[in-house]
Amino acid sequence: MKPTLTQELLLSLTADTPSISPKFFYDEIGSHLFEVITLLEEYYPTRTEKWIMDTYQSEIANAVGSCDALLDLGAGNCIKASKLFNSIKPKQYHALDISKEFLQAAVNDLQKQFPHIEMSAHAIDFSQTLAFPNLENLRKIFFFPGSSIGNYDPENADVFFSNLANQCNGNGGLLIGVDLVKDTQTLDLAYNDKLGVTAAFNLNALLYVNKLTGSNFNLANWEHHAFFNTSKSRIEMRLRALDDVKVTIPGLDSKDHVLSFKAGDLIHTENSYKYTQDHFVEKLRRAGFENIHYWTDPNNHFLVCFVNAKKIT
Ligand SMILES: C[S@@+](CC[C@H](N)C(=O)[O-])C[C@H]1O[C@@H](n2cnc3c(N)ncnc32)[C@H](O)[C@@H]1O
């Protein structure tokens, strides 16, 4: 039986390294905060990916070829996919995301703008299931922008890619954006903006956990902490306790669980892995993709790849 969200959170919060999965960033408030992050001067990934997609739009469309169904993984506000509609011309658009209400609203808006494309919104948690809409005889193109793949540990990213390659049924492909390794200052600034929006996004995970479990995390006791861990090639985002804190999480058996944190203790909330171009391309190849096309920006800050699934022989 799948654990409930309360069980899942209790387990991760009481582990040797306490953590909250980054999927708990994305209630409606978190999804809106992420939209604001993408507008920040310090947060280069969104505008750089957009620059690549705009600049190489026709090359990307040529590489992708025909697209019966575009499956947007972690679609968010669906804006990036919508920018592809005129060049890639999908017959169907399937938006998948854990943030149900935010996603449904975005797809409803988009359907009005593109009435000729068949659209559907799928509320799905990729950590629970990787069974995407089947669409058996259609040529499927998976779209996974925003460097969301960076949230996966490298081994889990390999499993995720192999699964996508299998689901392409020998004729689909994957269009993906990934953040590249760069100087530490640029990376650190991107996750520590001056307005404090990323801090609010991080802290909001505690509010969402309170909403989901009835726990009593108090934001005044926690601060945002993010830095680039060079040896692991990843941004690590955490919440740091400012005082000694006790947090109560009501149990399903009406028994309360009390978590104790000392001042300075950390709750790990996100890893965002940064790759080199060669390493990333090699991962895609190993997972069962071929005909690898890729595009980058003049600073080599971000990479967009299109890869075809190997034909089934
Ligand atoms: C970094 S944002 C990217 C949003 C958008 N694709 C973009 O590139 O701007 C990650 C997206 O993945 C969704 N997400 C996070 N964890 C998820 C999970 N476990 N299952 C499904 N969607 C998830 C979030 O709700 C969010 O919309």
Residue 307: the pLDDT is 98
Residue 1 pLDDT greater than 70, yes or no: no
pLDDT band at 137 (very low <50, low <70, confident <90, very high): confident
148 CA closest ligand 1 atom index: 1
The verdict on the CB of residue 25 being under 6 Å from ligand 1 is no
C-alpha distance from residue 162 to each of 35, 284, 293 (Å)? 29, 8, 18
Residue 3 pLDDT greater than 80, yes or no: no
Question: Residue 115: how many CB atoms within 10 A of its CB?
Answer: 8
The verdict on the CB of residue 127 being under 6 Å from ligand 1 is yes
pLDDT band at 4 (very low <50, low <70, confident <90, very high): confident
The verdict on the CB of residue 177 being under 6 Å from ligand 1 is no
**How many whole angstroms separate alpha carbon 141 and alpha carbon 93?**
10
**How many whole angstroms separate alpha carbon 120 and alpha carbon 129?**
18
| Residues of the chain above pLDDT 90, percent | 91
- The residue whose CA has the least distance to atom 6 of ligand 1 is 75
Tens of pLDDT, residues 102-118: 999 999 999 999 999 99
* CA 144 / ligand 1 centre spacing (Å): 9
Query: Higher pLDDT residue, 266 or 4?
Result: 266
Q: What is the pTM of this model?
A: 0.96
**How many whole angstroms separate alpha carbon 31 and alpha carbon 25?**
8
In this structure, of 8-17, 20-29, 126-135, 199-208, the range with the lowest mean pLDDT score is 126-135
- The residue whose CA has the least distance to atom 7 of ligand 1 is 146
Residue 2: which residues within 8 A CB-CB, separation 6 or more? 128
Residue 206: the pLDDT is 98
Tens of pLDDT, residues 183-228: 999 999 999 999 999 999 999 999 999 999 999 999 999 999 999 9
Tens of pLDDT, residues 155-174: 999 999 999 999 998 999 99
